[in-house]
Amino acid sequence: MALLVVLTSSLLVACMGSSSTTLDDQGASVSSFDWGLPDGIPLPVEPDDNPMTEAKFQLGRYLFYDTRLSANGDIACASCHHQEKAFTDGRQFPTGTWGDTHPRNAMSLGNTAWFATFNWARPDVTTLEEQIRGPLFNSSPIPEHGLTSSNLDGVLASIRTDSTYQALLVAAFPEAATDTEWDFDDHLIPALASFVRGLTSFDSDFDHYLQGDSSALSAAAKRGLALFASERLECTHCHLDNFTLTDNHMNRSWTYPTSNFHNTGAVYRFDEPNRGVYEVTGNSSHLGQFRTMSLRNIALTAPYSHDGSHATLEDILDTYSQGGKQGDYQVDGDLSPGFTLTSDEKADVLAFLCSLTDLTFISNPRYGNPWPDADGNPIGVASNAEADPAVNPQCQLSNP
């Protein structure tokens, strides 16, 4: 129900023809960044110590696609976060610069500016700046980029002496223009966070529908939305509001952020290091609890779940329809105890989930690779021939 309530108020805002900043007039005057949001989407929080600027966003974009930021010179953020897959990588588990396998599935990066916590099950990671330090310097669960005190100076030297970066750094941090000791904490991480924060996705059919175009959703997707929000399926108990489709969210008009974690019985057994929030708290009531994932662009981000154990959206629906996998631990009370869908109804839910695909997001050159290839041409944006819901296998039933 919650989704439908928010949905109705959004439609009202849209009908009144008000601007995207009506929910949040204060935000409008304090952001120097063009968020380019449609009507009804509240501005996200910008950290006081890292307000958004276009110059930081652009610097972050070059860094995001640069493999020089890794121990072996072979891993960039973009190695595991591919734009054409809504910034996931299509694999069950990604590998880091030394070839180690990460125990969890790579996450999508759309609209993270509205999230209250980051990663699959880390209530303690509450800013993008903090999150991004992880893959750069982590040794656990794996070294992703593998930066350590022994290779850091070399990596920094390659950035500091590159004329492209010098220009970008001076533009992004003019107050430090005479200081060529650019570093991760004060410059590179804030820029990477600004780029990721600026990756917004609000141009799906579902968004057009929310903005008042009732023909933007097919009849099947509308029936799927009604099922999604129904007491039978109970999806909106957790995939809650209509701009993030999760209960892990915040914006400038809310006084406190919300981040909820749930055991949905996605797997039979939760083994180390995938025991969810328990890994952080050691509290047995947190066993198997993971963050509610946003469902935006979900048809582009297979495989699914924290351990990539669901190959298809249909597999996910099958697990939910049995009330979770009924394994070791009791599932969350907000979850439906189980439901039966006819194949037509299943197709309708898939049509709704596929209406969350934003083809503009995955083809937007602003988010693409800015570096030139060996011939000096911009690398730009990779295409994804299966992205369109009309041909995407995630959007079709296996046995219609």
List residues near ligand HEC by CB under 6 A. 64, 75, 77, 79-81, 94, 96, 102, 104, 106-107, 109, 112, 115, 118-120, 128, 131-132, 135-136, 144-145, 192, 196, 233-235, 237-239, 262, 264, 266, 290, 292-293, 295, 298, 301, 304-306, 313, 316, 320, 332, 334-335
Find out whether 257 and 249 touch, Cβ atoms under 8 Å: yes
Find out whether 139 and 71 touch, Cβ atoms under 8 Å: no
Q: How far is the CB of 102 from ligand HEC (least distance, A)?
A: 4
Q: Distance between CA 388 and CA 205 in Å, rounded?
A: 12
Cis? peptide before 135, omega within 30° of 0:
no
Nearer to ligand HEC, 145 or 249 (CB): 145
CA-nearest of 44, 46, 52 to 110 is 44
Q: How far is the CB of 400 from ligand HEC (least distance, A)?
A: 18
Calculate the dihedral angle through the C-alpha atoms of 267, 271, 274, 275, rounding to the nearest 10 degrees: 90
Find out whether 290 and 121 touch, Cβ atoms under 8 Å: yes
DSSP class of 22: T
Q: How far is the CB of 17 from ligand HEC (least distance, A)?
A: 33
Q: How far is the CB of 324 from ligand HEC (least distance, A)?
A: 9
Nearer to ligand HEC, 94 or 368 (CB): 94
Q: How far is the CB of 233 from ligand HEC (least distance, A)?
A: 4
Nearer to ligand HEC, 298 or 354 (CB): 298
The whole-angstrom distance between residue 33's C-alpha and the CA centroid of its chain comes to 20
Burial class (CB in 10 A: 0-12, 13-18, 19+), 109: buried
Q: How far is the CB of 202 from ligand HEC (least distance, A)?
A: 16
Nearer to ligand HEC, 21 or 112 (CB): 112
Nearer to ligand HEC, 171 or 280 (CB): 280
Nearer to ligand HEC, 39 or 60 (CB): 60
Cis? peptide before 123, omega within 30° of 0:
no
Chain position carrying tokens 């797997």:
267
β-partners of residue 249 are: 258
Nearer to ligand HEC, 210 or 313 (CB): 313
Q: How far is the CB of 155 from ligand HEC (least distance, A)?
A: 12
